[in-house]
Amino acid sequence: MDSFFNEIRKRLPPELPNIINIKDHSSNKISIVRVENAFSTPNAYEAYKFLLPLYSAEYPVEIIDTNKHHLKKEELIPINPGQPHFSEIDKSKPFIKIPPVLTIFVDKELMRDTSSKIFGEKNIIFENKTLNINNNLHKLINLFIEESIHQQTGYQFILENLNLQIIINILRTVNSNCQDELAPKNYFEKKPTRYLMNYMKENYNQIFSLDELARTVNYSPFHLIRIFKAETGKTPFEYLLEIKINRAKQLIKNTKLSITEICFSCGFNNHSHFSTVFKRKTGYSPSQYREIIKS
């Protein structure tokens, strides 16, 4: 059985595996890697990646796109394929030693095929938010590692079975766009905030004002901003921009559309404004982002 980590290793500078501490436990579709180093250079993988710190210790801040995330013991954080990320450390050093972290790499196509069978949606995108790992996933990870280490008779079949169990557990528990797809479409039976969130997801490429949004739920603009931010942590405008940029990132990665075509298909009025917002949200211009995910 070919190790999935052999594919992941190709994304590392060739000298690094020889001088840093990496120990992997792999099947042909999942690799669970014990890492004791943090890297200052941005990288992106053609696989789903999940970080799981093992100790109550001080970890470097992880930068995913341009957002900062604080790593804590047994809190899982997902990173999507093609999503640039790195550790906030002294950039003069390519890496530093840190307390151990389990890094779970999952084959992109297997994750998407499984998502398609469960949700009817193949292009799954996980939210970059930490969540406490549940006991079931914890047990599956430990069993996967044990089978990989001991390699008793039939271990390949057990690992293949664990591949799906781990993926399904992740799909059930980690917030993603696919879970939103399962939500009922009778919006007015939900809270106004949930209605507006779904409304903006379905109409992100349209132009509408705050007043128009407020009228759809019979709120004043001021009241709408207050309750929306209380429930989501963002204003409606900030939430809509996040949807637009996430959609733009998908189109940049998965299509050959020009940057200008992507700009207008995501509801931006002009190329300059789109590029400015995209760079503010991701740290890269749209063209730079396309180069990074293709490298």
Per-residue pLDDT tens digits for 269-291: 888 999 999 999 999 999 999 99
One domain, residues 152 and 10: yes
Report the Cα–Cα distance between both ends of the chain, in Å, rounded. Answer: 27
Same-domain status, 81 and 224: no
**Which pLDDT score is estimated for 185?**
42
223 and 262, same domain (yes or no): yes
How high does pLDDT run on average in the chain? 86
| Residue 239, domain extent | 183-294
| Residue 125 burial (10 A CB sphere; 0-12, 13-18, 19+) | buried
Q: Let me know whether 72 and 158 are in one domain.
A: yes
Residue 248 has pLDDT above 60, yes or no: yes
CATH assignment at residue 221: 1.10.10.60
pTM for this entry: 0.62
> Among the three residues 158, 176, 194, which one is the final residue of a domain in this structure?
176
Residue that terminates a domain, selected from 176, 210, 225: 176
Q: How far apart are CA 205 and CA 196, in angstroms?
A: 15
Final residue of a structural domain among 136, 156, 176: 176
Please check whether residues 170 and 213 belong to one and the same domain: no
Domains held by the chain: number: 2
CATH code, 155:
2.60.120.10
Per-residue pLDDT at 180: 52
